[in-house]
Structure 1
Amino acid sequence: MKRSCFIIVLFVSFLLWAGGVQARITLPSFFSDGMVLQQQSSVAIWGNSDRKLQKVTVKTSWNNKKYTVTTDESGSWKVKVETPVYGGPYHIEMNDGETVRINDVLIGEVWLCSGQSNMDMRVGGRYSDPVIGSLDAIVTSGNPDIRMFTVGSKMTSEPLTDCEGEWQEASSETVPGFSAAGYFFARKLNQVLGIPVGIIHASYGGSRVEAWMSKEGVAPYKDLPDVHNASILYNGMLSPVIGYGIRGCLWYQGEANVDAPDLYTQLFPSLVSDWRQQWGIGEFPFYYAQIAPFNYNKGEGKGKNSAYLREAQVKCLHLIPSSGMIVLTDVGDDRTIHPMEKETVGNRFAYLVLGRTYDKKGFPVTGPLYKSMQTEGNKIILSFDEMGKGLTTYRQPLNGFEVAGEDRVFHPANARFGKDAQTVVVSSPEVEHPVAVRYAFKDYVKGCLYNMSGLPASSFRTDNW
Structure 2
Amino acid sequence: MKKYLFLLLVSLITSTAFAKISLPSIFSDNMVLQQNSNVSIWGKAKANVKVTIHTSWNSQKYIAMSGSDGSWKLSVVSTKAGGPYQITINDGEELVLNNVLLGEVWLCSGQSNMEMPVKGFRNQPALNSADILLDADNPQIRLIRYEKTLSRTPQYDCKSTSWQVSDAESAKEFSAVGYQFAQQLQRKLKVPVGIIMSTWGGTKIEGWIAGNSAVADTAKITKNDPSVLFNAMINPFLGYGIKGVLWYQGEANRSNYNQYDQLMEAMVKGWRKAWNIGEWPFYYVQIAPFKYDSTKQSAFLREAQLKASTQIPNSGMVVSIDVGTENFIHPPDKTTISKRLVYWAMANAYGRKGLAFASPVYKSHKISKNVVTISFSHTENGLSSFGNSLSAFEIAGEDKVFHPATAKITGAGVVLQSEKVKTPVAVRYAFKDWVVGDLFNNEGLPVSPFRTDSW
TM-score clears 0.5: yes
Q: Work out whether 1:340 is the aligned partner of 2:335.
A: no
Q: How does 1:131-150 map to 2 (within 5 A)?
A: 131-150=126-145
- Structure 2 counterpart of 1:374: 366
| Inter-partner Cα distance in structure 1 for 2:315 and 2:374 | 25
1:265 to 261, 268, 274: 261
1:153 to 134, 148, 155: 148
1:158 to partner: Cα distance: 1.8
| Inter-partner Cα distance in structure 2 for 1:363 and 1:99 | 48
Relative to 1, partners in 2 of residues 1:168 and 1:388: Cα closer, same or farther, differing over 3 Å?
farther
Q: Work out whether 1:318 is the aligned partner of 2:310.
A: yes
Contact 2:152/2:212 (CA < 8 Å) preserved in 1? Answer: no
Contact 1:363/1:453 (CA < 8 Å) preserved in 2? Answer: no
- Structure 2 counterpart of 1:451: 441
Q: Work out whether 1:43 is the aligned partner of 2:35.
A: no
Q: How does 1:33-72 map to 2 (within 5 A)?
A: 33-49=29-45, 51-72=46-67
Q: How does 1:178-189 map to 2 (within 5 A)?
A: 178-189=174-185
Q: How does 1:103-114 map to 2 (within 5 A)?
A: 103-114=98-109
- Structure 1 counterpart of 2:275: 279
Percent of residue pairs identical = 47
- Structure 2 counterpart of 1:401: 393
Contact 2:18/2:44 (CA < 8 Å) preserved in 1? Answer: no
| Inter-partner Cα distance in structure 1 for 2:321 and 2:16 | 61
- Structure 1 counterpart of 2:9: none
State the TM-score, normalizing by the size of structure 2: 0.93
Residue by residue over 1:130-163, the C-alpha shift from the partner in whole angstroms, topping out at 9 and shown as x without a partner, is 0111001101111110111101111122221111
Runs of 4+ aligned residues of structure 1 deviating over 3 Å after TM superposition are 19-23, 216-219
Q: How does 1:412-431 map to 2 (within 5 A)?
A: 412-418=404-410, 421-431=411-421
Aligned residues: 436
- Structure 1 counterpart of 2:452: 462
Q: Which residue identity does 2:447 align to in structure 1? A: A
Structure with max Cα Rg? 1
Q: How does 1:160-199 map to 2 (within 5 A)?
A: 160-165=155-160, 166-199=162-195
- Structure 2 counterpart of 1:439: 429
2:78 to 71, 76, 83: 83
Structure 2: unaligned runs, 5 residues or longer: 1-11, 216-221
1:20 to partner: Cα distance: 6.3
| Inter-partner Cα distance in structure 1 for 2:223 and 2:263 | 13
- Structure 2 counterpart of 1:331: 323
Contact 1:190/1:197 (CA < 8 Å) preserved in 2? Answer: yes
- Structure 2 counterpart of 1:254: 250
| Inter-partner Cα distance in structure 2 for 1:155 and 1:93 | 32
Residue by residue over 1:303-362, the C-alpha shift from the partner in whole angstroms, topping out at 9 and shown as x without a partner, is 443100000000001111111100000111111110100111111110111111111111
Q: Which residue identity does 1:434 align to in structure 2? A: P
Q: Work out whether 1:93 is the aligned partner of 2:93.
A: no
1:216 to partner: Cα distance: 4.6
Structure 1: unaligned runs, 5 residues or longer: 1-15, 220-225
Contact 1:147/1:167 (CA < 8 Å) preserved in 2? Answer: yes
Relative to 1, partners in 2 of residues 1:125 and 1:387: Cα closer, same or farther, differing over 3 Å?
same
